[in-house]
Chains A and B, each alone.
Chain A
Amino acid sequence: MGIADELAKQQRAVSIAEFFERNRHLLGFDNKKKALLTVVKEAVDNSLDACEEAKILPQITVELIHMGEDRYRVIIEDNGPGIVQEHIGRVFAKLLYGSKFHSQRQQRGQQGIGISAACLYAQLTTGRPAKITSKVEGKKARYCELRLDTKTNEPQLLAEREVDWDCEHGVRIELDLEAQYQGGSQSVDAYIKQTAIVNPHATIIYTNPKAEQLILTRVTQELPPQAKEIKPHPHGIEIGVMQKMLENTEHTTMQQFLMNDFCRVGAGTAKEILSNALIQVKAQPKSLRAQDIEQLMKGIAKTKIIAPPTDCIVPIGEELLEAGLQKEVTAEFYCSKTRTPEIYHGIPFVVEVALAYGGTQRGDNAVNVLRFANKVPLLYQMRSGAVYKSIVETGWRTYGLNQSTNQLPVGPLTIAVHLASVWPPFTSEAKEALANYPQIIKEIKLALQECGRKLGRYVNKKKKARAEQERVSVFEAYTPVCAELLSEITGESKVRIEQHMTQMLVKNKEFIMKNKGIPDGHEKEN
């Protein structure tokens, strides 16, 4: 028996580390460059969520320090509500812990895997513990050093003490990890800038490893409205989640379970589902076997249920999204559109699009695409996601841009697409791209088209103005040659002829700009 116990323990120890190794790519730790981004991203997302929940205007400091070779220190500090002492260990050093996993509310994080995975990555690559300081309002700040015990998936407290921290509340995380710092469209820099665009209420102070500091100040003092929590809608539940919900419910009959743990299910609907599933109304949720659960899923699919309420979605809003974009992209024309909520697979969502055209942006490259889900920038896997598909399938030529079939349009344009949802459908656990659901693509395209039409009007107006200017310059271009030829034929002074021509042009400039030339009484096209 002793040996068996030992083996079981070993088995478990292997599985935590192995779990991480096997799922590195799913968790966003494929390589050193991406790992750095993921660590920052998880910490900042958590900070923003925490502040929002506590109704605090976020101020977040991000600092990256190069420690030599491929070692970096990441320090992230927020002014959030802080974490109570008892929870610190589990939040940072226990995989799959977190309040978010079963919650049906629009939030940045989802699985409660992110920050603890970041700490584990740091621990596995450098052996250093995570250093956390937390201050809850009215209490002393506490500092602790944490490790995750890979044998037990339990936090290990290496050091803990009270410290002085000159702030009301907040959390400070310090992690040492193997990483690589690089600029570009998938860098921490890009992530921070884009985060500022979709979180116009946040101030972010970012110092990169080259000690360059970027201060992104908030453009609004208003907190975004808090997303309401909703219970899951039966049509939006997958079999695995259903299994967990059945296990954890406090209700003792299936009818009660369906009525109380889901939205839009009354007694009648519950009975209909159960009769469609051939399950007894009074059956105990915990007693359902695997085939019963399958029956239940089929029963739900067969039953018509009212769509879930949509007031649980909080978009950024057209004005703020535009203001955010203005802050980060220097352009000459901005527009935005927030669509009304829609449903995919029983899950409500809202699509928002903002465009920034012209300015300092280069006109000979493919447009700059910024993707966001629940106010989080998506930097990887652009081409496999719904946003890319929607953009390339939209006809941008109508709106004055160049575009080849099935390609991104070319022009001085930034397209920002935001999807807000209780449960954004990602293509993978690393939350890198939105899945190609037809309902989502349709909504994105509609939003793109609405913005595109506004853009088209602007671009065409601009083209017209340019054409007006060009009309005058066409005559200017042909004047010298014309004068020279006339002089050559007649022997008269070229300079004098040119003077007459210039005088003529100056006199009629305004008229020429609006018309195709100067009338000559009996104009007729050839």
Chain B
Amino acid sequence: MDTKKKIEELAKNIIEQLVQQQNPSMTVPIRSLSNVYFDKKSQTLQIHENASTRSFYNVNHVRKFVQTLAVAAGSKKLVERDITVSIRDLYYNIKRTLPNTKIDLLDSQTESDKAIEDLEAITGLPRERLGLIADASGTVSGKVVIEDSGDTIDWSKLGSGGWAIPSDVENITFKSVKAKYVIYMEKQAVWHRLHQDRYWDKHNCIIMASKGQAPRGVRRLLIRLSEEFKLPIYVLTDFDPWGFYIYSVLKYGSINLATQSDTLAVTGAQFLGITADDIEHYGLKKHFIKFKDVDMQRIGQLENYDWFKASKAWQRQFKLMRSYKAKAEIQSLSNRDIQFITNTYLPEKIKKQQFVE
């Protein structure tokens, strides 16, 4: 069903309830840890049936109810005009003051962003199909030629900056892909090091980076490279609970977007480093950063996620990190030599093919 129809159906349903003099409501799937489960078959996070009801005649709901409707109306207009805007544009577009009051429908963009997520969950449509683009994405380089909106782009001839990955990569076509694998890293600075050292050229691969959590465009691009060209995806993050979680979201999907795991989980991703074994092997302990309470708490949560619980290798990583009470960044490798990661660490790790699984 297309976007327009789904939104119209939502609104018609509400009017119908009003005509029946029932409290009009919409059903919003609950996106919390308690309502997602790890589906062993697909190896992704999936959402249970549980949903919350959001009603107009409920003082705790009414504001969100109308905000969600406002996003829906705004989104319908965008889809009709066949244009996409940023979530910030949409915020300004639907912002208004309630007539004869001093109440603003939206106090901040946080509120419209939340309503967008809700509408995604209600309709089961990703934001790209709601006429929205996510924030600027990530960077990539490698021996790949693509076509995007009629332009031919060679990822190996883009100077020092690489190609900026858009939030919607569904419509690009791959002209040629000369790569044996993809390395995805959570740090732009590490990507920069590898790009300047032309790692992708020497080793025949693609290097891709984002800042922190991988956005949709990055995830979709990884999925397409993995599915269409059968390329292995190697993940490089900091040695800390947050780095491990970036890998977790990439591979299994996130709690928030569990409704879209089927299209967003990079099931083929493999965790390359930094591992506890790297810490020992490369002597990174002297660059440890002491744990804070929140780090320790976060490990406790990660340990108990079903998908990690089943893995002895991961439990071992958590246990070791716990015993160190410390974390280390990817960049701690630079202590031995700035180009250590390019010349020694990555070639060695990839040659050994040791992944935490």
Contacts of B18 in A (CB 8 A): 497, 500-501, 504
- List 19 additional A-B contacts (Cβ < 8 Å) besides A490-B8, A517-B55: A478-B56, A480-B99, A485-B11, A485-B69, A486-B69, A488-B73, A489-B7, A490-B12, A490-B15, A504-B18, A508-B57, A517-B23, A517-B57, A517-B59, A520-B53, A520-B58, A523-B58, A525-B52, A526-B52
**Interface bits B1-38 vs A (CB < 8 Å: 1, else 0):** 00000011011101100110111010010100000000
**Interface bits B93-113 vs A (CB < 8 Å: 1, else 0):** 000101111010100000000
Determine whether the beta carbon of A526 is less than 8 Å from that of B59: no
How far apart sit A504 and B22, CA to CA, in the bound complex (Å)?
8
Contacts of A501 in B (CB 8 A): 18, 56
Residues from 483 to 526 in A contacting B, C-beta threshold 8 Å: 485-486, 488-490, 492, 497, 500-501, 503-505, 507-508, 512, 516-520, 522-526
The reply on B198 being an interface residue by CB < 8 A is no
How many A residues are at the interface, by size bracket?
A: 20 to 34
Of all chain A residues, the one with the shortest Cβ separation from B76 is A489
Contacts of A523 in B (CB 8 A): 53, 55, 58
The reply on A1 being an interface residue by CB < 8 A is no
The reply on B54 being an interface residue by CB < 8 A is yes
Determine whether the beta carbon of B58 is less than 8 Å from that of A482: no
How far apart sit A490 and B96, CA to CA, in the bound complex (Å)?
20
Determine whether the beta carbon of A485 is less than 8 Å from that of B23: no
In the complex, how many angstroms separate the beta carbon of A192 from the nearest chain B beta carbon?
A: 43
Contacts of A477 in B (CB 8 A): 98, 100-101, 103
Residue in A485, A488, A504, A507 whose beta carbon sits within 8 Å of that of B66 in the complex? A485
Chain B residues with a Cβ under 8 A of chain A: 7-8, 10-12, 14-15, 18-19, 21-23, 25, 28, 30, 52-66, 69-70, 72-73, 76, 96, 98-101, 103, 105
The reply on A167 being an interface residue by CB < 8 A is no
Question: Taking each of A492, A497, A526, which has the highest tally of chain B beta carbons within 10 Å of its own beta carbon?
Answer: A526
Determine whether the beta carbon of A475 is less than 8 Å from that of B57: yes
In the complex, how many angstroms separate the beta carbon of A508 from the nearest chain B beta carbon?
A: 7
Report if A503-B21 is in contact (Cβ < 8 Å); known contacts: A486-B14, A520-B53.
yes
Determine whether the beta carbon of B62 is less than 8 Å from that of A485: no
In the complex, how many angstroms separate the beta carbon of A241 from the nearest chain B beta carbon?
A: 65
Chain A residues with a Cβ under 8 A of chain B: 471, 474-475, 477-478, 480-482, 485-486, 488-490, 492, 497, 500-501, 503-505, 507-508, 512, 516-520, 522-526
How far apart sit A526 and B34, CA to CA, in the bound complex (Å)?
13
How far apart sit A478 and B96, CA to CA, in the bound complex (Å)?
11
How far apart sit A123 and B7, CA to CA, in the bound complex (Å)?
91
Determine whether the beta carbon of B8 is less than 8 Å from that of A474: no
In the complex, how many angstroms separate the beta carbon of A510 from the nearest chain B beta carbon?
A: 13
Listed from nearest, the 7 A-B pairs whose CB atoms lie closest are A517-B58, A489-B11, A518-B57, A520-B23, A500-B18, A518-B23, A517-B57
How far apart sit A477 and B21, CA to CA, in the bound complex (Å)?
19
Contacts of B105 in A (CB 8 A): 481
Chain A to chain B contacts (Cβ below 8 Å), 26 pairs: A474-B62, A475-B59, A477-B103, A478-B62, A478-B66, A478-B98, A480-B99, A481-B99, A481-B105, A482-B56, A482-B65, A485-B72, A485-B73, A490-B11, A500-B21, A503-B21, A504-B21, A508-B57, A517-B57, A517-B60, A518-B23, A520-B23, A523-B53, A524-B52, A525-B52, A526-B54
In the complex, how many angstroms separate the beta carbon of A467 from the nearest chain B beta carbon?
A: 9
How far apart sit A508 and B57, CA to CA, in the bound complex (Å)?
10
Of all chain A residues, the one with the shortest Cβ separation from B55 is A520
Determine whether the beta carbon of A507 is less than 8 Å from that of B12: no
Residue in A475, A497, A518, A519 whose beta carbon sits within 8 Å of that of B15 in the complex? A497
In the complex, how many angstroms separate the beta carbon of B343 from the nearest chain A beta carbon?
A: 52
Determine whether the beta carbon of B25 is less than 8 Å from that of A520: yes
Question: Taking each of B30, B55, B59, B72, which has the highest tally of chain A beta carbons within 10 Å of its own beta carbon?
Answer: B59
How far apart sit A504 and B55, CA to CA, in the bound complex (Å)?
13
In the complex, how many angstroms separate the beta carbon of A459 from the nearest chain B beta carbon?
A: 21
Of all chain A residues, the one with the shortest Cβ separation from B98 is A477
In the complex, how many angstroms separate the beta carbon of B79 from the nearest chain A beta carbon?
A: 12
How far apart sit A486 and B18, CA to CA, in the bound complex (Å)?
11
Report if A522-B58 is in contact (Cβ < 8 Å); known contacts: A485-B69, A489-B8.
no
Determine whether the beta carbon of A481 is less than 8 Å from that of B66: yes
How far apart sit A66 and B28, CA to CA, in the bound complex (Å)?
77
Report if A500-B23 is in contact (Cβ < 8 Å); known contacts: A475-B57, A485-B66.
no
How far apart sit A504 and B15, CA to CA, in the bound complex (Å)?
12
Determine whether the beta carbon of B15 is less than 8 Å from that of A525: no
Contacts of A497 in B (CB 8 A): 15, 18
Report if A471-B59 is in contact (Cβ < 8 Å); known contacts: A477-B101, A520-B53, A522-B53.
yes
Of all chain A residues, the one with the shortest Cβ separation from B64 is A526
In the complex, how many angstroms separate the beta carbon of B346 from the nearest chain A beta carbon?
A: 45
Contacts of B62 in A (CB 8 A): 474-475, 478, 517
Determine whether the beta carbon of B96 is less than 8 Å from that of A481: yes
How far apart sit A480 and B14, CA to CA, in the bound complex (Å)?
15
Determine whether the beta carbon of B53 is less than 8 Å from that of A524: yes
How far apart sit A512 and B61, CA to CA, in the bound complex (Å)?
14
Residue in A500, A503, A518 whose beta carbon sits within 8 Å of that of B55 in the complex? A518
Contacts of A486 in B (CB 8 A): 11, 14-15, 69
In the complex, how many angstroms separate the beta carbon of A355 from the nearest chain B beta carbon?
A: 32
How far apart sit A516 and B12, CA to CA, in the bound complex (Å)?
25
Contacts of B56 in A (CB 8 A): 475, 478, 482, 501
How far apart sit A525 and B53, CA to CA, in the bound complex (Å)?
8
Contacts of B8 in A (CB 8 A): 489-490
Determine whether the beta carbon of B58 is less than 8 Å from that of A516: yes
How far apart sit A517 and B15, CA to CA, in the bound complex (Å)?
18
How far apart sit A490 and B14, CA to CA, in the bound complex (Å)?
11
Report if A480-B19 is in contact (Cβ < 8 Å); known contacts: A488-B73, A508-B57.
no
Contacts of B76 in A (CB 8 A): 489
Of all chain B residues, the one with the shortest Cβ separation from A523 is B53
How far apart sit A481 and B58, CA to CA, in the bound complex (Å)?
16
How far apart sit A471 and B23, CA to CA, in the bound complex (Å)?
15
In the complex, how many angstroms separate the beta carbon of B130 from the nearest chain A beta carbon?
A: 13
In the complex, how many angstroms separate the beta carbon of A170 from the nearest chain B beta carbon?
A: 61
How far apart sit A497 and B56, CA to CA, in the bound complex (Å)?
13
How far apart sit A479 and B165, CA to CA, in the bound complex (Å)?
42
Contacts of A490 in B (CB 8 A): 8, 11-12, 15
Of all chain A residues, the one with the shortest Cβ separation from B60 is A516
How far apart sit A522 and B30, CA to CA, in the bound complex (Å)?
14
Determine whether the beta carbon of A517 is less than 8 Å from that of B99: no
How far apart sit A518 and B30, CA to CA, in the bound complex (Å)?
21
Contacts of A516 in B (CB 8 A): 58-60
In the complex, how many angstroms separate the beta carbon of B98 from the nearest chain A beta carbon?
A: 5
How far apart sit A492 and B11, CA to CA, in the bound complex (Å)?
10
Determine whether the beta carbon of A492 is less than 8 Å from that of B15: yes
Contacts of B61 in A (CB 8 A): 517, 526
Determine whether the beta carbon of B21 is less than 8 Å from that of A525: no
Of all chain B residues, the one with the shortest Cβ separation from A500 is B18
Contacts of B96 in A (CB 8 A): 481
In the complex, how many angstroms separate the beta carbon of A503 from the nearest chain B beta carbon?
A: 7
Contacts of B55 in A (CB 8 A): 517-518, 520, 523
Determine whether the beta carbon of B98 is less than 8 Å from that of A481: yes
How far apart sit A524 and B54, CA to CA, in the bound complex (Å)?
8
Of all chain A residues, the one with the shortest Cβ separation from B102 is A477
In the complex, how many angstroms separate the beta carbon of A522 from the nearest chain B beta carbon?
A: 6
How far apart sit A519 and B54, CA to CA, in the bound complex (Å)?
11
Contacts of A524 in B (CB 8 A): 52-53
How far apart sit A480 and B99, CA to CA, in the bound complex (Å)?
7
Contacts of B12 in A (CB 8 A): 490
In the complex, how many angstroms separate the beta carbon of B56 from the nearest chain A beta carbon?
A: 6
